Amino acid sequence: MADRLPSEIARETLKQLAARRLQPTPDNYLALYDEIAGTRSPQPFPDGPLSGIQRVLPAQTPAQKRLLTQFERAIITKDWTSLQSVMVGYANLGLHPAAATPIETASAPTALGELPPELAETLARLIDNTLPALGEDDARVIEMAKQLVTFLREPSPPVATAQLMLGNFTYRLSFATEDQAAIRTSLLELLHMIFENIAVLSVDDRWLHGQAEALMTASTPPLTLRRLDDVQRRLKDVIFKQTEAKARTLEAQEQMKDMLATFIERLAKITASSTSYQGTMERCADLIGKASSLQDIAPVLQEVMSATRAMALDSRVAHDELQDLRERTEAKRAEVAKLQEELDRASSQARHDPLTGTLNRKGLDEAMEREIARARRMGSPLCLALLDLDNFKSLNDRLGHAGGDAALVHLAQVTREVMRPQDLLARYGGEEFVIVLPDTAVEAGAAAMTRLQRELTTRFFLQGTEKVLITFSAGVAQLSDTESSTDAILRADQAMYLAKRSGKNRVMAA
């Protein structure tokens, strides 16, 4: 939420006073102003009277001495929150020494209302971990978080103070989280508008159209870091291949333009040479007609022969050059056709995962749309399974990212060999895969996943000289008549989660 000018907040406060029919008292005005601004105005701090109270407070027991020290520090720092905490501590402890002793000996931490150290540290870590997600736009919430973390990590923080500070922090935090959610939604909408505009403007350009579709897929919620990393890796590979093929195609087109210009230039020279030869022949014929002796004809014949030889030589050279141009043109045409095929193949990767060769999310959505339409038209069952590799993080840490990628390729290869030709395999994200099983009910789908698990146990994944056993947990769901693919995948995901909780390397039907 953008910061508003104080004058705007003041005008809105006056409007709300009238709208709510409140008395225009300073207290009502201040309360409404704080509500609209999302802040809490500081109260005037009575240093003198509080110092007088401090001098008469008892300080005979260790608990009273500690509270008196906190009271003095609260006055110096003008901290209402700490002051309230001290007063609550005195109220729980008892103002008279005689009353303090039995309470202290019975249960000092409970009477004082202090936070357990483990809970205080857990709350501090929670706040530390929350701040990075909020960015640095709201300086006030960051300042409040730092103060709260510092307080929680002090020795024996009072519960009452912690409760008050947490309440203030969560109130301010609610505004910050609303801002971040609104910013994220607006950015995604802007990105989609840009990508849709690119796709509309590039209908005839398959290269750019493929890019736009891939970017739209990447920015479609729900977004996860794992999915974004996967999409980023795929897009980098596609962009590199498309850029390279596009540059080579443009180079070939420029060379063809140069050859065409040379061809036209050569034709112009042939035409000029022919025109010159025809003029020479006409002039020689006129001279021969006017000649009165053989001596007059001889020079003319010599000129005719020279012009004819030159014309023949030019024609032979032009023929050879044109033949060479023709051969080069054919070669370039074939090269352009080959490059276009490469470009189309690169654009098609917007629907396939470059690592495993399986469908990606975009390809899966299109395939599911076709299969759902077919299943409902034919009245046949359609089943899908969501697979997740077991212990993939530890596998990745032990073998490295290259080893983890090789394990994913191994799983995809075994799956393609075991499953039926009509079954579709897609990489859903990270180490998750979706298998679409046409003409299959849920019981048969679960049995198929169990067979795939058994097959994987007989095919060890080799990483160097080490044999690695790969297992997965799977959830299987059959689409109902009115269910969307997203809902079915969600049910399969929930069943897969139950399979993980049941001991992994299991198959659960949704």
In terms of Cα–Cα distance, which of 335, 330, 342 is closest to 246?
342
Element of type H or E holding 426: strand 424-429
DSSP 100-117: HHHHHHHHHHHHHTBPPH
Which residue among 265, 431, 432, 443 is the active-site one?
Answer: 431
Residue 353 near residue 359, CB atoms below 8 Å:
yes
> Rounded to whole angstroms, how far apart are CA atoms 284 and 286?
5
> Rounded to whole angstroms, how far apart are CA atoms 458 and 29?
76
> Rounded to whole angstroms, how far apart are CA atoms 463 and 398?
11
Name the CA radius of gyration of the chain, rounded: 41
Pairing, β 382-389 against β 424-429: unpaired
In terms of Cα–Cα distance, which of 401, 408, 426, 399 is closest to 492?
426
| Both structure tokens of 277 | 């030869």
CA 390 to chain centre: 24
Considering Cα of 393, then 395, then 398, then 403, what sign does the dihedral take? negative
CA 110 to chain centre: 48
Q: Is 483 a catalytic residue?
A: no
Pairing, β 472-478 against β 507-509: parallel
In terms of Cα–Cα distance, which of 392, 388, 389, 390 is closest to 494?
388
In terms of Cα–Cα distance, which of 204, 202, 201, 239 is closest to 218?
239
SS3 content of the chain, % helix, strand, coil (to 5): 75, 10, 20
The owner of tokens 């076709």 is 370
Q: How buried is residue 287: exposed, middle or buried, by Cβ count under 10 Å (0-12/13-18/19+)?
A: middle
> Rounded to whole angstroms, how far apart are CA atoms 504 and 22?
63
Considering Cα of 250, then 255, then 256, then 258, what sign does the dihedral take? positive
Q: Which residues lie across from 433 on neighbouring strands? A: 387, 427
Q: Which of the residues are catalytic?
A: 431
